[in-house]
Structure 1
């Protein structure tokens, strides 16, 4: 009881409550005591000032936060920020010494004045942190590039760096327009069909970020073409039916148990796939998983990767 009371006294810099105002999700309003923001769960966070001890509890959250605020304002990043196979900020993350797992005990010990969490994290984590007075902002996980831009704008509001958010979104749009200029040269009837093999359980399908990456890259996403959703796994029969022109291969295995080279060889030599165009023409390309799985500004690199892999003559 003494420990809990002590924690409650420590974390008095911010609080959360259910949204009873008309303030929409992601928006902020200034007040005499600071400002308030509404998260995707409907909670209103009262922030007395720009947060100075931020904890970012996912890779994409860390990637966005690092681009918006000085490292001195970040108390910790999620531990995977150091893993090059999935993180786009391995070098930048060295400026933030603390890396933590996404559990309440680790976060509470840091005494943060703001924790930013994507909505796919367990709701119990946010609730536990809120119960000891830690301000927690939960935001909606992006499934399209436009939603990634919205995430950046929203997080920029939360950390009090709106102009930095605008600049980051503008940089994304400039990069995408450079790709689109080249993609517009590709005749519609020449668009290639692409599928992605993943060791992370996120191959694509309708409503996936990979489907939107493919759309921006001027290619047809094979899993969506087969009528699959992002929760589905493509069967070999469906791969043969879709008959992709290019297969994107993984470059990283989060379990550390898969030989990536042997995985590619097994796909190339699979008897059930020998009629597939990508197999016959040996059009299999390894693409960094950290680009294709990003729901941060680095998703643009995924678009560039796909265009280079499928249309090298244009890019």
Structure 2
């Protein structure tokens, strides 16, 4: 009789446990890094986000700067994070160490993300944040978008492995160990920075870039206006002569500063640029 009674109650117990699991509140988080800001905005519910880093609204660094305006802006110090009493603090492993250590000493759970240097690392971080905020389905969808964008970009590339030099203000070059390199390599392009001996990133002289003669430059702006000396480097007559618009790929910097769902947009922009150059 007792066995029958338990069997009769089993479906109700399972349903009750399932309902309790669904009803369990998801964690509330604060972010102290511009890259974890964007992962949170893309994957968490708005009411899970208690505050974002000081750079969350900087459109030059964050692709989701406009959306970040909905959330409190933190100072970057530990004190205002502690006042919010988040369940979890997320940040970069290179975010101020003193801040991270102080938060840990105060009993705060701090989850640290490395700087993503490959598409695989970026996808893994999307999955990690999706699990952290309780939305693995959103993370899976974001990664599927990236995979679809990779497939589109590969169709747009030539069989020839063009040498592309990522060149920014004042001659900054993203090297072979960067996320930019992973993006290029994934679609069959080669980062020409190896020819300059630059691994993660570094400054190159105008003479070095001219001597290298890559097939294309990868820049973050298509504008021909030099608002300062940093921008003037990229628009130097020697470079404009060798690399007119038909020899420049343009991808906004805020699409590649961090690893996250915005990489799908970066790849689609690369596809558009490659298609433009082939016409």
Normalising by structure 2, we get a TM-score of 0.79
Q: C-alpha root-mean-square deviation of aligned residues, in Å?
A: 3.0
**Partner SS, residue 81 of structure 1:** coil
Aligned to 1:91: 66
CA shift, 1:150, in A, is: 0.3
Aligned to 1:157: 131
Task: Give distance in 2, aligned partners of 1:268 and 1:117.
Answer: 36
> Is the counterpart of residue 50 in structure 1 residue 26 in structure 2?
yes
Aligned to 1:222: 192
Aligned to 1:140: 114
Structure 2 residue ranges without an equivalent (≥5): 1-20
Instruction: Give the paired residue count.
Output: 255
> Is the counterpart of residue 302 in structure 1 residue 257 in structure 2?
no
Alignment equivalent of 1:187, drawn from 151, 159, 162: 159
Alignment equivalent of 1:121, drawn from 85, 89, 95: 95
CA deviation vs aligned residue, 1:200-242 (integer Å, no higher than 9, x gap): 9963112111111221343221213433211432233331232
Alignment equivalent of 1:72, drawn from 24, 34, 47: 47
Aligned pairs for 1:235-314 (under 5 A) are 235-251=205-221, 259-260=226-227, 266-270=233-237, 273=239, 277-278=242-243, 283-284=247-248, 286-313=250-277
Task: Give distance in 1, aligned partners of 2:47 and 2:227.
Answer: 38
**Partner SS, residue 65 of structure 2:** coil
Normalising by structure 1, we get a TM-score of 0.71
Aligned to 1:207: 177
Residues 55, 107 of structure 1: 8 Å contact kept: yes
Say which structure is richer in helix. 2
Task: Give distance in 2, aligned partners of 1:310 and 1:260.
Answer: 27
**Partner SS, residue 51 of structure 1:** coil
Structure showing greater Rg: 2
Aligned to 1:30: none
Identify the range of structure 1 (284-293 vs 147-156) with the bigger mean alpha-carbon deviation: 284-293
> Is the counterpart of residue 178 in structure 1 residue 148 in structure 2?
no
Aligned to 2:76: 102
